[in-house]
């Protein structure tokens, strides 16, 4: 009887020992998360600029005084550079009372240093001088070079009020004269998009 009870107790243990061990299910791979798409690079803001000021010029050793007005349109490239298409108009008169005007078209590049900017540009110009004796205007044309610096007195992401100083020089092709001088003025710049 004891042997029978012992066999009954040992038989289930032997049966369990001979059964295949239960295999654990393989670990599940974590779901691959898709990487978010890279953020779109913001476009460079397109700037619009208007400035005006008082300018003195010299033409064939005659002193000229008048107003220098300019427009600008162009993008800011990164945080340290800007380029502009820049039509300008100068309206003045000589010491002898002869009225004159000069129109210039060209491009400028600026190096941006925080609130300060240093720039230079090239272009073409057309000048007209009204003769006092006859009712006619003498025209001439040539190449224009300018250098400028500006300081942003008020500046935000999309608006700036600035003061500007420039030196402009234009060389006539026909007469060989040089029309040049400094300008001091103020202006405003509006950007069409905010910087990121």
User: Residues 6 or more apart from 9 whose CB is under 8 A from it?
Assistant: none
Question: Averaged in consecutive runs of 10 residues, what is the pLDDT profile of the chain (196 residues)?
Answer: 54 52 60 67 82 95 95 91 96 91 97 96 94 80 96 94 97 89 98 66
Number of alpha carbons in the 13 Å side-chain half-sphere of residue 16: 5
> Which position has the token pair 């050793």?
61
Distance CA 105, CA 85 (A): 8
How many domains does the structure of the chain reveal? 1
Q: What is the pTM of this model?
A: 0.75
User: In this structure, what DSSP letter does residue 148 have?
Assistant: E
CATH at residue 79: 2.40.160.20
Distance CA 191, CA 160 (A): 9
Is 177 inside any structural domain? Answer: yes
Is 89 inside any structural domain? Answer: yes
Is 20 inside any structural domain? Answer: no
| Structural domain containing residue 151 | 46-191
The confidence score (pLDDT) of residue 175 equals 80
């Amino acid at each position: 009887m004891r042997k029978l009870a012992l066999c009954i107790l040992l038989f289930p243990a032997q049966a369990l020992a001979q059964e295949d061990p239960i295999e654990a299910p393989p670990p599940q791979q974590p779901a691959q998360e898709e990487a978010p798409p890279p953020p779109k690079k913001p476009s460079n803001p397109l700037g619009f600029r208007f400035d005006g000021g008082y300018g003195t010029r010299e033409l064939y050793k005659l002193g000229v005084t008048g107003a220098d007005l300019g427009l600008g349109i162009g993008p800011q490239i990164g945080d340290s550079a800007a380029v502009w298409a820049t039509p300008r108009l100068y309206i003045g008169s000589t010491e002898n009372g002869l009225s004159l005007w000069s129109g210039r078209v060209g491009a400028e590049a600026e190096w941006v240093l925080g609130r300060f900017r240093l720039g230079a540009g090239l272009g073409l110009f057309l000048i007209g001088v009204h003769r006092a004796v006859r009712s006619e205007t003498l025209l001439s044309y040539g190449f224009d070079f300018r250098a400028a610096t500006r300081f942003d007195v008020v500046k935000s992401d999309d608006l700036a009020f600035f003061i500007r100083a420039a030196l402009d020089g234009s060389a006539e092709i026909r007469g060989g004269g040089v029309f040049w001088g400094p300008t001091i003025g103020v202006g405003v710049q509006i950007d069409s998009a905010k910087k990121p």
